[in-house]
DNA sequence: TTGAAAGCGGTACCAC
DNA sequence: GTGGTACCGCTTTCAA
């Protein structure tokens, strides 16, 4: 393979200066129709694409978005959310000639290092922040670094960044109403990591709605991992007054919960109704298929990338609201004591 | 935040020319000890880090590795392998000031586009290629693009790239021997996507070993998705002569298989022994906990990144052999008909 | 051992 | 409208 063409080559074969090629490339006004055609032809002929490095050096941009995800090294679980989320992100980056720089780190220390390094090396123009914590330190850090970002969800503390939000409250409402209508009266909630914002939001909402519907609630706390979900399930089923339904704050825990129920010889959903949240396809392939709240991860990805780019390019910092999460009814919920 | 320091700033505060700073930074010889100290001090004082863009422009490097993963848009499953693999990759990239550019695409067309785009935009210095197909077209594509790469596994067709390999044969041997010793005689194999190389390798090996051990084998083909794994399980359990043990070519399918067995009212592992492969932690949290073949994804990541960087930097194209996969015994296997 | 200067491949400003 | 040119922040000759 021969050397890739440069803007100089294009200028020469189009018989213009490279300045003009640059203008044309970026769709700027001030280039004659006729000339633009010649340039376009030359670009096509040579198959020229601008060097991201050169462009970035001149414009002080990286044309890249950063995404840093921290995973517990032991439970290095691939959250089913991410693959789809990333596909959504990619779909918008591809058409804008930008890329995603991904960093998977095992602990907070490396996580902070990663934010610093990507910033000081001018690797990215902004960050996608997911899994918001209570009073999330990353928001401060990124702001202090002078970087841009968007958050998935609205931080509870002060944030200078646009937030992408989706209403989950209505979905939880639907979910509990569904359970109540089936005849459940004792509905447990297996909450996620208390330090995570959406864990708390979901729990709070559950408690509110349950109170309104006259449901008794038992709460167990976890770290969102399947392992902790399984443990919580055992604790719930060890009680003298067992819940007849368990609502898990995410699908992986619900799936682990199903396994525990089987292990203990329960027949589902007759002996126990189970629901997830943050709906993923995985839930379709377990038995019984998991009733859950949809979360459209691809939509999150598209929205987050779009918002971040527009924030970077236009300084447009408005929040973005996604359609509310919808209830997906499958077969893991039924009236208590009903035939499997 | 103020403007980030440049090499010029460092040169000025160290009282030398920027050329020297560059030499010092890159640990090149020909800089006086004394001078090097002054430069290091200035670097530390200013907190300077070189701009990846500027550096890359001068050296025609991207200091980035590309990783393109294609996921079926419907079963956008996050293979548990990836999170750990990426953590392994990151651990070596971080200490070398390089980054990972990730692209998740829904189909082959976008996949090829992604390879082309990352190349023509000079975004990456090489690619990590996973999930090798039979006669994988990506190897040709990447070679034609003049890019570097390493493959996870050795391609069946001609490849100019270093391969990272791990012996799986011995593990399959152990696995089947284990089953045979438990008393199983009819052992099914749920193979992965036939177009994928490791699916075929594993199946072939299973057939060889089974023949040697005098085991009867029934084979079902899938696409590696939990859904297809579930379907295969149904087909197997519908037979008049059921297998007493099923070996799945990956863990997600094995987990789906466990669900199917429960659904059909079987008691595991009494009525059916199940094993996975490509061992992941997920298997610990299902019931019964999954016996599987370990795969050390973090190790794959570290090895792949290290090999690719050395290939890029030194043209060192030797294959790398990882420790053989080991059998992880958990509780999803037992003598046929034994108490659960 | 060190400094000066010429790129790398773009962008952007300033004349004409 | 268009060409010329000075950067962007590094690396890499080439002299001194």
Q: Which region holds residue A167: left if phi is over 0, alpha if psi is between -120 and 50, else beta?
A: beta
Helix (H) or strand (E) holding A94: helix A80-94
Alpha helices in A247-296 (DSSP H): 251-263
- Of B166, B186, B188, the C-alpha closest to B275 is B188
Q: What top-level class would CATH report for the domain A64-166+298-321?
A: alpha beta
Q: Give the angle B212-B214-B219 at the CA atoms, nearest 5°.
A: 90
Chosen from A69, A98, A102, A125 to mutate, greatest number of chain B CBs within 10 A: A102
What is the model's pLDDT at position A300?
96
Question: Which CATH architecture group holds A7-49?
Answer: Orthogonal Bundle (1.10)
Q: Is A54 on the interface with B (CB under 8 A)?
A: yes
- How close is the nearest chain A Cα to the Cα of B302, in Å? 13
Q: Residue A152, SS3?
A: strand
Residue B93 CB partners (closer than 8 Å, separation 6+): B65, B99, B100, B305
**CATH (residue range A169-295):** 3.40.50.2300
Residues of B in contact with A83 (CB under 8 A): 69, 71, 76-79, 82, 104
Q: Is A77 on the interface with B (CB under 8 A)?
A: yes
Per the listing, tokens 């020909």 go with B30
Q: Residue B275, SS3?
A: strand
Q: Residue B267, SS3?
A: coil
Which residue's CA is nearest to the C1' of nucleotide C6? B58
What is the phi/psi pair of residue B61, to 5°?
-130, 160
B83/A78 CB distance under 8 A: yes
Verify if strand D has an atom below 7 Å from the CB of B211.
Answer: no
Distance CA A68, CA B68 (A): 17
Q: Which nucleotides of chain D does any protein CB come within 7 A of? A: 1-5, 7-13
Residue count of chain A, please give it.
340
- Of A153, A104, A150, A122, the C-alpha closest to A60 is A122
What is the model's pLDDT at position A340?
43
For chain B, report the end-to-end CA distance as a whole number of angstroms.
64
Please give the structure tokens belonging to residue B270. Answer: 């009494």
B139-to-B130, B133, B142, B147, B148 alpha-carbon distances in Å: 11, 10, 5, 10, 10
Q: What are the DSSP E strand ranges found in B237-314?
A: 245-248, 273-275, 292-293
Q: Nearest by CB to A226, which of B86, B100, B282?
A: B282
Distance CA B116, CA B137 (A): 13
Residue A107 CB partners (closer than 8 Å, separation 6+): A70, A73
Distance CA A234, CA B287 (A): 13
Whether B172 contacts B209, CB under 8 Å: yes
What is the phi/psi pair of residue A117, to 5°?
-65, -45
B231: nearest CA in chain A?
A: A285
- How close is the nearest chain B Cα to the Cα of A201, in Å? 26
DSSP state letter for B282 = G
Domains B64-166+298-321 and B169-295 share a fold: yes
Distance CA A116, CA A125 (A): 13
A47-to-A50, A226, A320, B117, B234 alpha-carbon distances in Å: 10, 49, 37, 11, 52
B262-to-A147, A229, B224 alpha-carbon distances in Å: 51, 20, 20
User: Hey, CA dihedral for A195, A197, A203, A204, is it positive or negative?
Assistant: positive
Q: Is A53 on the interface with B (CB under 8 A)?
A: yes
Distance CA A256, CA A276 (A): 10
pLDDT tens figures, A241-285: 999 999 999 998 999 899 899 989 999 999 999 999 988 777 888
Q: Nearest by CB to B1, which of A56, A57, A146?
A: A146
Whether B103 contacts A90, CB under 8 Å: yes
* Rg of chain B (C-alpha set): 25
Chosen from B5, B9, B230, B262 to mutate, greatest number of chain A CBs within 10 A: B262
Residue A310 CB partners (closer than 8 Å, separation 6+): A316
Q: What residue ranges of chain A have pLDDT lower than 70?
A: 1, 73-78, 338-340
User: Hey, CA dihedral for B54, B60, B64, B69, is it positive or negative?
Assistant: positive
- Per-residue pLDDT of chain B in tens (340 residues, 90 and over written 9): 578 999 999 999 999 999 999 999 999 988 999 999 999 999 999 999 999 999 999 999 999 999 999 987 555 556 778 888 999 999 999 999 999 999 999 999 999 999 999 999 999 999 999 999 999 999 999 999 999 999 999 999 999 999 999 999 999 999 999 999 999 999 999 999 999 999 999 999 999 999 999 999 999 999 888 889 999 999 999 999 999 999 999 998 999 899 899 989 999 999 999 999 988 777 888 889 999 999 899 999 999 999 999 999 999 889 999 999 999 999 999 999 865 4
Which residues sit opposite A248 in a β-bridge? A190
B105/A87 CB distance under 8 A: yes
Distance CA B96, CA B26 (A): 12
Q: What is the DSSP string of A175-235?
A: HHHHHHHHT--EEEEEE--TTBHHHHHHHHHHHHHHHHHT-EEEEEE--SSHHHHHHHHHH
Residues of B in contact with A260 (CB under 8 A): 287
Q: Where are the domains of chain A?
A: 7-49, 64-166+298-321, 169-295
Per the listing, tokens 């010029």 go with B8
Taking residue B137's Cβ as centre, other Cβ atoms within 10 Å add up to 12
Which residue's CA is nearest to the C1' of nucleotide D2? A20
A103-to-A21, A66, B206 alpha-carbon distances in Å: 35, 8, 37
Taking residue B326's Cβ as centre, other Cβ atoms within 10 Å add up to 13
Distance CA A58, CA A51 (A): 11
Q: What is the DSSP string of A195-210?
A: TBHHHHHHHHHHHHHH
Q: Residue B198, SS3?
A: helix
A298/B76 CB distance under 8 A: yes
Distance CA A235, CA B321 (A): 45
B97/A121 CB distance under 8 A: yes
What is the model's pLDDT at position B271?
96
């Amino acid at each position: 393979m021969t050397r890739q063409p440069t803007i100089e080559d294009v200028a020469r074969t189009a018989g213009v200066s490279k300045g003009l090629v640059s203008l044309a490339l970026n769709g700027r006004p001030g280039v004659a129709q006729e000339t633009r055609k010649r340039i376009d032809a030359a670009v096509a002929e040579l198959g020229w694409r601008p060097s991201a490095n050169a462009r970035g050096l001149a414009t002080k941009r990286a044309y890249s978005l950063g995404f840093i995800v921290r995973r517990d090294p032991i439970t290095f679980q691939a959250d089913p959310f991410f693959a789809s989320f990333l596909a959504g992100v990619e779909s918008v980056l591809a058409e804008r000639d930008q890329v995603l720089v991904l960093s998977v780190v095992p602990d907070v220390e490396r996580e902070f290092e990663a934010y610093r390094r990507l910033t000081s090396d001018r690797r990215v123009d902004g960050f996608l922040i997911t899994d918001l914590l209570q009073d999330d330190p990353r928001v401060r850090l990124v702001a202090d670094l002078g970087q841009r970002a968007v958050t998935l969800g609205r931080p509870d503390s002060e944030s200078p960044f646009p937030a992408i939000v989706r209403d989950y409250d209505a979905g939880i409402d639907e979910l509990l109403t569904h359970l109540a209508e089936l005849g459940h009266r004792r509905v447990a909630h297996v909450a996620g990591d208390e330090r995570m914002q959406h864990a708390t939001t979901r729990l709070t909402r559950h408690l509110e709605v349950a109170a309104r519907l006259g449901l008794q609630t038992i709460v167990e706390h976890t770290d969102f991992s399947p392992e902790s979900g399984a443990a919580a399930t055992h604790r719930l089923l060890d009680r003298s007054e067992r819940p007849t339904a368990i609502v898990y704050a995410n699908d992986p825990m619900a799936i682990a919960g199903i396994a525990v129920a089987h292990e203990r010889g329960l027949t589902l959903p007759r002996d126990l109704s189970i629901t997830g949240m943050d709906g993923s396809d995985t839930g379709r392939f377990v038995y019984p298929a998991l009733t859950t709240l949809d979360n459209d991860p691809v939509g999150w990805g598209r929205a987050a990338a779009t918002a971040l780019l527009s924030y970077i390019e236009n300084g447009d910092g408005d929040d973005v609201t996604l359609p509310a999460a919808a209830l997906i009814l499958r077969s893991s919920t039924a009236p208590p004591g009903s035939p499997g």
